[in-house]
Structure 1
Amino acid sequence: MPTSPRFYRWLTQVCYWPLLILVALWHGMPTDAPGTLPVYIALFLWVLPLLFPLHGLVKGKPYTHAWTNFVLMFYFLHGLTVVYTHPDERVWSILELIFTTGAFIGATGYARYQGRAQGLGLKKLKDYD
């Protein structure tokens, strides 16, 4: 795997933006199924969490890339669940899994290598002795 923060930042951007668009399109489509939420509430609940880290991701902040993974895991678990339970939405969920996996790998790599380049990180206990 590359150790360049530039590659990981690129991977995060290439996967995060399509994920945001996919989620908006997927949950923004009106359905006739009983018991579904209105479109505006579904969009609010599904798109809003992806908007929280946008500023830090655009600015290239390693800390934001690191905590974005917590948000991405919600969408990863959703994709895994839908692949298994809703065969008619399998294509949407496979795309969701691909984009979240790519964004996760990119955000993790960028946070690690850019954080090291900036001198950020946790000090090991033996460094204090």
Structure 2
Amino acid sequence: MPTSPHFYRWLTQVCYWPLLILVALWHGMPTDAPGTLPAYIALFLWVLPLLFPLHGLVKGKPYTHAWTNFVLMFYFLHGLTVVYTHPDERLWSILELIFTTGAFIGATGYARYQGRAQGLGLKKLKDYD
């Protein structure tokens, strides 16, 4: 695997933006199924969590890349569940899984290598003694 933070930042951006668009399209479509939320409420609830880390991801902040993974795991679990339970939405969920996995790997790698380049990180216990 590359150790360049630029590669991981690129991977994060290449997967995060399509994930944001995919989620907006998928959950923004009106459905006539009984018991579903109106499209504007579903869109708000599904897109809003992806907007929280947006500023830090655009600015290239390693800490934001690190905690973005907590948000991404929600979408990863959703994709896994939908692949299994809704065969008619399988394509959407497979794309969600691909983009989420790519963004997760990219954000983790960028946080690790860019954080090291900036001297950020957790101190080892032996450094305190």
Does 1:30 find its partner at 2:33?
no
For residues 39 and 83 of structure 2, the distance between their equivalents in structure 1, rounded to whole angstroms, comes to 22
For residues 127 and 4 of structure 1, the distance between their equivalents in structure 2, rounded to whole angstroms, comes to 27
Alignment deviations for residues 11-51 of structure 1 (CA, whole Å, 9 cap, x no partner): 00000000000000000111110000000100010000000
2:68 maps to what in 1? Answer: 68
Give the drift of 1:63: 0.2
Give the drift of 1:127: 1.2
TM-score of the superposed pair, with normalisation by structure 1: 0.99
Q: Give me the CA root mean square deviation.
A: 0.3
SS at the partner of 2:77?
A: helix
For residues 44 and 32 of structure 1, the distance between their equivalents in structure 2, rounded to whole angstroms, comes to 18
For residues 22 and 44 of structure 1, the distance between their equivalents in structure 2, rounded to whole angstroms, comes to 14
Alignment deviations for residues 39-90 of structure 1 (CA, whole Å, 9 cap, x no partner): 0100010000000000000000000000000000000000000000000000
For residues 73 and 9 of structure 1, the distance between their equivalents in structure 2, rounded to whole angstroms, comes to 18
For residues 25 and 39 of structure 1, the distance between their equivalents in structure 2, rounded to whole angstroms, comes to 10
For residues 72 and 35 of structure 1, the distance between their equivalents in structure 2, rounded to whole angstroms, comes to 26
Give the drift of 1:128: 1.2
Q: Gapped runs of 5+ residues in structure 1?
A: none
Superposed structure 1 runs of 4+ greater than 3 Å apart: none
For residues 60 and 28 of structure 1, the distance between their equivalents in structure 2, rounded to whole angstroms, comes to 28
Does 1:54 find its partner at 2:54?
yes
Report how many aligned residue pairs link the two structures: 129
TM-score of the superposed pair, with normalisation by structure 2: 0.99
Q: Gapped runs of 5+ residues in structure 2?
A: none
